[in-house]
A and B are shown apart, each in its own frame.
Chain A
Amino acid sequence: AQSVAQPEDQVNVAEGNPLTVKCTYSVSGNPYLFWYVQYPNRGLQFLLKYITGDNLVKGSYGFEAEFNKSQTSFHLKKPSALVSDSALYFCAVSPGSSASKIIFGSGTRLSIRP
């Protein structure tokens, strides 16, 4: 069965420092991987996704993620954090079959302190 794990409930980073939000997955075959962000009282917003090709994927708001097949990971990164990046981040995986649904992780709350 496919699954996705976000091992950290919360990540705290100082503004201007690099940030990493971790995600690992378990799926048979070649996965499609996603990151979404949720701001308070809002729905989830798409950040980026990996389908195939270059393992480094660039997305919105300066975020990027690296697909690592050997470690089954898809960590979200940003070189320099902003206070406005504070939000709830979700990693998600799809098995890449004809199915349309994706499985979301439990979410990681990112807090950027000034």
Chain B
Amino acid sequence: AQKVTQAQTEISVVEKEDVTLDCVYETRDTTYYLFWYKQPPSGELVFLIRRNSFDEQNEISGRYSWNFQKSTSSFNFTITASQVVDSAVYFCALSDTPGGYQKVTFGIGTKLQVIP
């Protein structure tokens, strides 16, 4: 069975601080995909990144960066120089279903509040 743990339920930071959101996953498969989504107050989930299990390279996109470590089954997300617009709930997710249908398991989310 697959499982995603986001141990931080809520985080508050002051604007311009860096913040890291933790994600730990469990799966028995060697082939799987990891995702991060952002859910702003409007409610719609916005896709941020997909990473497959064979690619452990860290990725940076502007102020966002992701650290994937198979040895610790973690896929952490860092926001550098946080801004008020980063305030949202962030979900980490895992998919390890073979074939066409994606069975995606979501973590419970981390609510990030960036204080001006």
Q: Do A and B bind each other?
A: no
User: A residues near B, CB below 8 A?
Assistant: none
User: B residues near A, CB below 8 A?
Assistant: none
